[in-house]
Amino acid sequence: MFGLGILFLFLLKIQSAAALGGELCYILDGILIVYGIVLTALYCRLRMLSRNNERAAEAQGEGIYQGLKPHATDTYETLHMKKKAAK
């Protein structure tokens, strides 16, 4: 939210931003780099937590196949059709 406020202030003062020239680009590049690093760190943390949860569930015997039952041994069932009487 704070970053959006700063961006809004930059957009409102377009005249002063034009006077800064290349310095504004360096500021925006710095903001984008910090944003990218934070997002990457949060993504890696999320992936590590999900992997740890999966390993803990497998160790407790709650794997992805928990609760599944095997199918019947007879895959194909025979159709028993009654013949109709000829007229």
Q: What is the pLDDT of residues 26-84, one digit of tens each?
A: 888 999 999 999 999 999 999 998 888 777 766 666 566 666 776 666 666 677 777 77
Q: Is pLDDT at 85 greater than 80 in this prediction?
A: no
Q: In one letter, which amino acid is 70?
A: P
Positive/negative CA dihedral, 23, 28, 30, 33:
negative
Helix (H) or strand (E) holding 67: none
